[in-house]
Amino acid sequence: MTCAELVELVTAFLDGALDPETEQRFVEHLAICDGCETYVEQLRQTIAEVGKVQPESLSDETRDRLLTAFRNFHV
């Protein structure tokens, strides 16, 4: 497995979705390649950073309308 091939398989690897033989080659490559080790670590960091992002939110009017609807539902 080359570095160029490995970088395309990181998500499949993290999901445990590689077939056993490919996973073996992935792990063996990773063990001897500092560049790919860094790449995988950076993809993990990226995932962690994405997880901290708050997506856009509803307008205040819609939010207020829904909170009012919830209140009225339970009167």
Partner 1 sequence: MGVVLPADDVLVAGLRAGDEEMFACVLNGWSGSMLRLARSFVSTAASAEEVVQDTWLAVLEGIGRFEGRSSLQTWVYRILVNIARKRGSREHRTVPWTSLAPYDGPTVDPSRFRDGDDRYPGGWRVFPEHWPNTENEVLAHEVRATVAAAIESLPVRQQVVLTLRDIDGQSAEDVCALLDISMANQRVLLHRARAAVRGRLEQYFASTAGVER
Residue 34 binds to partner 1 (criterion: CB under 8 A): yes
8: amino acid identity, one letter: E
Of the candidate residues 2, 19, 21, 60, the single one contacting partner 1 (CB under 8 A): 2
Measured distance CA(12)–CA(32) in Å, rounded: 20
The least distance separating partner 1 from the CB of residue 20, rounded to whole angstroms, comes to 17
Of the candidate residues 24, 27, 28, 45, the single one contacting partner 1 (CB under 8 A): 45
Q: Which two tokens stand for residue 20?
A: 């056993």
The least distance separating partner 1 from the CB of residue 14, rounded to whole angstroms, comes to 9
Residues 6+ apart with CB under 8 A from 66: 58
